[in-house]
Amino acid sequence: MTKKERYELVLAYFQEQVPIAETELLYENPFQLLVAVILSAQCTDKRVNLTTPAIFKQFPTPQKMSKASFEQMFALIKSISYPNNKAKHLIGMSQLLVDNFNAEVPLTVEQLITLPGVGRKTANVITSVVDKQPNMAVDTHVFRVSRRLGLVPMTATTPLAVEKALIKHIPTALVHTAHHWLILHGRYTCLARSPKCDACGLVSFCKEGAKKSAS
Active site residues: 121, 139
HSE-CB of 29 using CA atoms within 13 angstroms: 9
CA 166, CA 178: separation in Å to the nearest integer? 9
CA torsion, ordered 44, 49, 54, 55, to nearest 10 deg: 70
The string of DSSP letters for 3-54 reads HHHHHHHHHHHHHHH-S-----S--SSHHHHHHHHHHHTTS-HHHHHHHHHH
Q: Are 121 and 159 in contact (CB under 8 A)?
A: yes
User: How far is it, in rounded angstroms, from Cα 39 to Cα 33?
Assistant: 10
* Count of alpha carbons within 13 angstroms of residue 90, beta-carbon side: 37
